[in-house]
Structure 1
């Protein structure tokens, strides 16, 4: 056996250990320990992503699946096979097909078949996004007052649209999307970004534990939950703000002759705090003038809690209010979302891209 083979088999062993850990986690979280551990094995077959063998109490997952897909999809397959196990060993229906009522009930318990955002943006939400795009285009005005008014108008449109859908209890589907990369620890700026998206952009946010199989690296990643249009907007804001912060930091370093990047995260935290305060001020103005107050979407909250029944609130550490931080706050108050957005197909089912 050469070194390459040895490394590969070590990786397979790591995957197998993680599969057992996640099986234990879901059995405890969703089934209250109602199942007994099966044998979990990896298969080189490509045609079948997962399989449950009741006679041998063996749950199999495809190596190809783990190599090709993100861990959230692999875990959906794991829960799917756990649902088959639950039917065979706990529910034990008589005369039902493999995917009959008992299996559907098991899937409900295990939250499998959970939807990603691959379906794209529905037609009605697409129209709302196009209208929002036109308004945000006006925010590119070199006149600062005009740009600020355009951004506030865009927030009014988003708020009215979401308030109407909740008030009328319109039919709406919810999905999830990951933003950023898997890390063991996240910076104060990343934590502030998550807080900003959850506070102002009609999504629920969660630092979700996950696993990068190819890198054999466990950590957390930012998961956002919402309607397709809200996910599109949150994704756009996320990408746009990181782009703007990098540009602002480069400019700040050049003008102030700051050596290195030791102060970058402190500056980023300041920019996001400044932008957060700006959005709060706009929100107060909208409440005073339009009497529009967002109190959340009960359906979205229910969906989020259904998928995450055990949620623990964590608070990130603060940053020292240095001159660099305050410079970031001042620059953040001047940030305006003004890049046009457009619907565009991608592996995520479409996202709002910068033009």
Structure 2
């Protein structure tokens, strides 16, 4: 019998799979190529993992893209893909009739980034809503900074051992975030959007992941689109929910995703001992937790909607309320985010899931979800939802 593979063999296998994944990404990118580009772009570039300082480089003369090997080993595949597509845009700009005479990050390069769904900056600052704030930077949104501070404090209070106090703090944090977004949408403030994978790509995802993606889309001001994605560990194409929104909304959504996943794992250990569940009950338990949390948030959002409507009716009676009010305060939709989605994905269609025979483990999980309180203090999303990594 063959022995177990060594770490070096595993690393080499995952590196080969990652490079195959980037080749697959290039094939997807070719479908978005604008007319008028040099036919050379149809030739797949050489893609190398290299030891270097930059995250990535593109060499038009040798038609080669190099990706920082250490970065590729340590980051999720979507982060590596972002850098790769950034370099693809550089490569294509170098053979564009107008791009040849422009600076590296000129208009042609930026238009290609938009077409490819690439980040022109290649690496954004990803500051977590729930994490401690770093040093201030120029151009920060002061209102958003004040909101961050309040939300962090409330999520800390949500760890209170007194259930009513904890629930009230979490509900207040959710209300502050909702009111902030309503004012942004109604005042028409300029907003920038980006996209990230919600979790690691897989050939099949458990049902509760679909429901969590729906929770984030319904209550946390992001939009989730299921997209094909390369599964590095399996060396094949799978899919993944990709969430889009403002950077701070995406960070909060990732935090909430990990919070729910961690809660499911912790509560499962207790439920298994208390109810005698077996491993086959885990998926239904997880679906129940997500379903219960969804119902809790839906009730809270409906109550908030009633309060806001009453406040606005009173303000309108006094002649103080103006602007363009959102008509649906339960399902708030950002038209600017909708335009971003149309540009990034084109035409979208809804997907459904077949029904499922529910067992007692589902209802036990639903009870947990109904009582779950979002708070600070669980594992950061930077580790909890990481995709398979190259060891080393």
Give the TM-score normalised by the residue count of structure 2: 0.72
CA contact (8 A) 1:52 1:60 kept: yes
- Please give the root-mean-square deviation of Cα atoms over the aligned residues, in Å: 3.6
Q: Deviations over 1:250-301 (max 9, x none)?
A: 222222223x211111011112111111111111111222228152222223
Question: 1:26: how far off?
Answer: 1.0
1:82 to 83, 88, 92: 88
Q: Are residues 303 and 325 of structure 1, via their aligned partners in 2, closer, same or farther at CA, if it must alter by over 3 Å?
A: same
Tell me the equivalent position of 1:248: 267
Instruction: Give the count of matched residue pairs.
Output: 341
SS at 2:357's partner residue? coil
CA contact (8 A) 2:193 2:247 kept: yes
1:51 aligns with 2:58: yes
Tell me the equivalent position of 1:157: 176
My pick for the range that moved more, 182-191 or 79-88, is 79-88
SS at 1:207's partner residue? strand
Q: Are residues 272 and 80 of structure 1, via their aligned partners in 2, closer, same or farther at CA, if it must alter by over 3 Å?
A: closer
Tell me the equivalent position of 2:250: 231
1:168 aligns with 2:190: no
Q: Are residues 81 and 136 of structure 1, via their aligned partners in 2, closer, same or farther at CA, if it must alter by over 3 Å?
A: closer
Q: Distance in 2 between matches of 1:50 and 1:172?
A: 29
Q: Distance in 2 between matches of 1:305 and 1:68?
A: 32
1:3-82 correspondence to structure 2 within 5 Å: 14-31=17-34, 35=39, 36-43=41-48, 45-47=50-52, 49-54=56-61, 58-62=63-67, 64=69, 66-67=72-73, 69-82=75-88
Tell me the equivalent position of 2:337: 300
Question: 1:92: how far off?
Answer: 4.7
CA contact (8 A) 1:52 1:81 kept: no
Q: Deviations over 1:92-137 (max 9, x none)?
A: 5674445444333333333332566525364532321221233344
Question: 1:201: how far off?
Answer: 0.9
Q: Are residues 39 and 297 of structure 1, via their aligned partners in 2, closer, same or farther at CA, if it must alter by over 3 Å?
A: closer
**Structure 1: stretches of 5+ with no match in the other structure:** 349-355
Give the TM-score normalised by the residue count of structure 1: 0.79
SS at 2:371's partner residue? coil
Q: Distance in 1 between matches of 2:281 and 2:91?
A: 52
